[in-house]
């Protein structure tokens, strides 16, 4: 199972980024699910909901408003289930990546537009061909 998740500021704020990733998962789409939470939920409650799946891969969207809460959640996930692969993306983790506390707890970071890169890393991980580097830089998408 692949979980696409983020911690929104409020329930009324749906993440378009997760939907783009899901739309581009191709054959893996049937193995994926979007689960959104808010920054006001307790990390342990979020962890319980995520582990109900149970996932092999979790992709988190990281934004300025959820960085600290995502850090707490990722730390919990890695403490309880270290084998789950955590992939981070989004504007807040894409810059000064290695200096951020979240970097120490994730398996991979995708910088830039991850619409197609996320599919590729998920496919590689599920095929037991993990990327050699931790930071994966996405190529810009063609315009037009």
Residue 137: which residues within 8 A CB-CB, separation 6 or more? Answer: 111, 112
Q: CB–CB of 33/5 below 8 Å?
A: no
DSSP code of 142? P
pLDDT tens, position by position, for the chain (144 residues)?
Answer: 999 999 998 766 777 789 999 999 999 999 999 999 999 999 999 999 999 989 999 999 999 999 999 999 999 999 999 999 999 999 898 888 999 999 999 999 999 888 889 999 999 999 999 999 999 987 776 676
What is the value of pTM for the model shown? 0.93
Spatial strand order of the sheet with 2-8 comes to 32-38, 2-8, 57-61, 85-89, 108-111, 135-137
The superfamily (CATH) of domain 2-137 is: Cobalamin-binding domain (3.40.50.280)
Q: CB–CB of 43/66 below 8 Å?
A: no
Element (H, E) at 144: none
């Amino acid at each position: 199972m692949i979980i696409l998740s983020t911690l929104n500021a409020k329930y009324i704020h749906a993440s378009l980024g997760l939907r783009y990733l899901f739309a581009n998962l191709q054959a893996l789409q049937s193995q994926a699910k979007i689960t959104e939470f808010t920054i006001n939920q307790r990390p342990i409650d979020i962890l319980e909901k995520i582990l109900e799946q149970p996932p092999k891969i979790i992709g988190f969207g990281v934004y300025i408003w959820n960085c600290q809460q995502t850090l707490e959640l990722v730390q919990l996930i890695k403490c309880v289930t270290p084998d789950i692969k955590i992939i981070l993306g989004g504007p807040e983790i894409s810059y000064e990546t290695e200096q951020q506390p979240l970097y120490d707890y994730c398996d991979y970071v995708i910088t830039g537009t991850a619409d197609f890169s996320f599919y590729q890393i998920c496919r590689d991980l599920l095929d037991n061909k993990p990327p050699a580097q931790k930071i994966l830089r996405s190529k810009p998408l063609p315009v037009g």
